Chains A and B, each alone.
Chain A
Amino acid sequence: MDADRALVKAAAAGSREAFDELVGRYQTPVLNLARAMTGGSADAEDIAQDVFVRAWRGLASFRGESSFRTWLYRVAINVIQSHRGRASRLRRLFGAAPVSEEAEDPIESAADPEDLERRVLDRDAIDRALATLPEDLRLAVTLRDVQGLDYRTIADVTGMPMGTVESRIFRARQRLKKELGRR
């Protein structure tokens, strides 16, 4: 049972309130997917917004054959891949990554400043380690271990066979162990 079904139906009929509710449910996972898949890019918020704008535009074409979450992840992966393609072309054109402001980075729930710093460092270290992986491995392990999707949903979202999902997660973790083990 898709817990989002009623909201999706209302949003597809044009209800912005319903869509805002869906945004509220998924903005953090989508933002973190964008961030993890772009190596901790400061553009992650822009990318996440692009995902929701694209979803709003395409909601009328959502047939409900998968869950809304699966569909939204597919939209997000497409948007992230487009962004990476553009960033890659810019790097080729100008020889370096475009400079962008460091994004505001609120982990405001952390009361202790040292704890806050450690958590940001942890996240940044993980995102940098993820950035060393080839995109196919990074996507599989990010969806599993950062986003918490189960293997079946990952196969549905990415269109990969189950065996490929398992193999990529395994290989991604083996490579990440070398990166994270150096800390």
Chain B
Amino acid sequence: MKGACDDRQGWLARMADPAESGALTAAERARLEAHLDRCAECRAALADQRFVASALRGRPALEPSPGFAGQLAARLDETSSWLGLLDWRVWTLRLAPVALAIFLAAVFSGSPSTSTATTSGTEITPATLDTWTHGVDESSSVASAVWQDRTSSEALIETMLLGSSMAREDANVR
């Protein structure tokens, strides 16, 4: 098939399909039929298309074996159990009581009633902490503010903002 015949391959393919031949417009169909009247090669190609399409449509379907459904069900069960383990939503729900228990334990047992802590016999004070972090002793530092029992949230935020800006200024100076 050459030239003009090549351009009609799609139409010939559809023409060979009873279900698809209706997809051609009346004009396309008329042009194709006019071409077929004078082109033996395309007539032969259309006959071949029809023969093969019919043979393939008549191919006997292979039905699944009797064990197919059972094997597939076992594989899906296995997959489902793994999917359950990998699902973060499942883990979130399962761990929610644990998270709640930790939170409650922290709230009811961790009241900061003392203003100092001891590690390996060394007393840690706010001043010590600030010395570790900034190397200076400032009464208005972040650690000092956090360490105080009755620091208001506004004061704490202000102190943290001031502290971080001061730290940046320190870094710029250095």
Q: A residues bordering B, Cβ < 8 Å?
A: 16, 19-20, 23, 27-28, 31-32, 35-36, 44-45, 48-49, 52-53, 56-57, 103-108, 119-120, 122-123, 126-127, 141-142, 144-146, 148, 150-151, 163, 166-167, 169-171, 173-174, 176-177, 180-181
Kindly identify, within residues 61 to 107 of chain B, every residue whose CB is under 8 Å from any CB belonging to chain A: 61-66, 68-69, 71-73, 75-76, 79-80, 83
- B68: nearest chain-A partner, CB-CB: A45
List residues of chain A with CB within 8 A of the CB of B60. 107, 119-120, 122-123
B86 closest partner in A (C-beta): A57
Q: Across the interface, do B72 and A49 meet the contact criterion of CB distance under 8 Å?
A: yes
Q: 29 A–B contact pairs at CB < 8 A? A: A27-B64, A27-B69, A28-B63, A28-B64, A32-B59, A45-B68, A48-B68, A49-B71, A49-B72, A53-B72, A53-B76, A53-B79, A56-B79, A106-B65, A107-B63, A120-B60, A122-B58, A122-B60, A126-B55, A141-B56, A142-B56, A145-B53, A145-B57, A163-B10, A173-B16, A173-B48, A176-B56, A177-B52, A180-B52
Residues of A within 8 A of B63 (CB): 28, 31, 106-108
B:19-33 near A, CB below 8 Å = 19-20, 23
Contacts of B68 in A (CB 8 A): 27, 31, 45, 48-49
In the complex, residue of chain B having the shortest beta-carbon distance to the beta carbon of A141: B56
A70 CB to nearest B CB, Å: 18
Q: Which residues of B contact A (CB under 8 A)?
A: 9-10, 12-14, 16-17, 19-20, 23, 45, 48-49, 51-53, 55-66, 68-69, 71-73, 75-76, 79-80, 83
Complex Cα spacing A148 to B17, Å: 10
Say what secondary structure dominates the interface of chain B.
Answer: helix
Cβ of B51: which chain A residues have Cβ within 8 Å of it? 177, 180-181
Known interface pairs A16-B80, A53-B75, A173-B16. Does A146 touch B64 (Cβ–Cβ under 8 Å)? no
User: Total A-B pairs in contact (CB under 8 Å)?
Assistant: 120
Question: Could you tell me the dominant secondary structure of chain A's interface residues?
Answer: helix
B14 and A166 contact, CB distance less than 8 A: yes
Closest to B66 in A: A106
Chain B residues with CB below 8 A from A104, complex form: 65
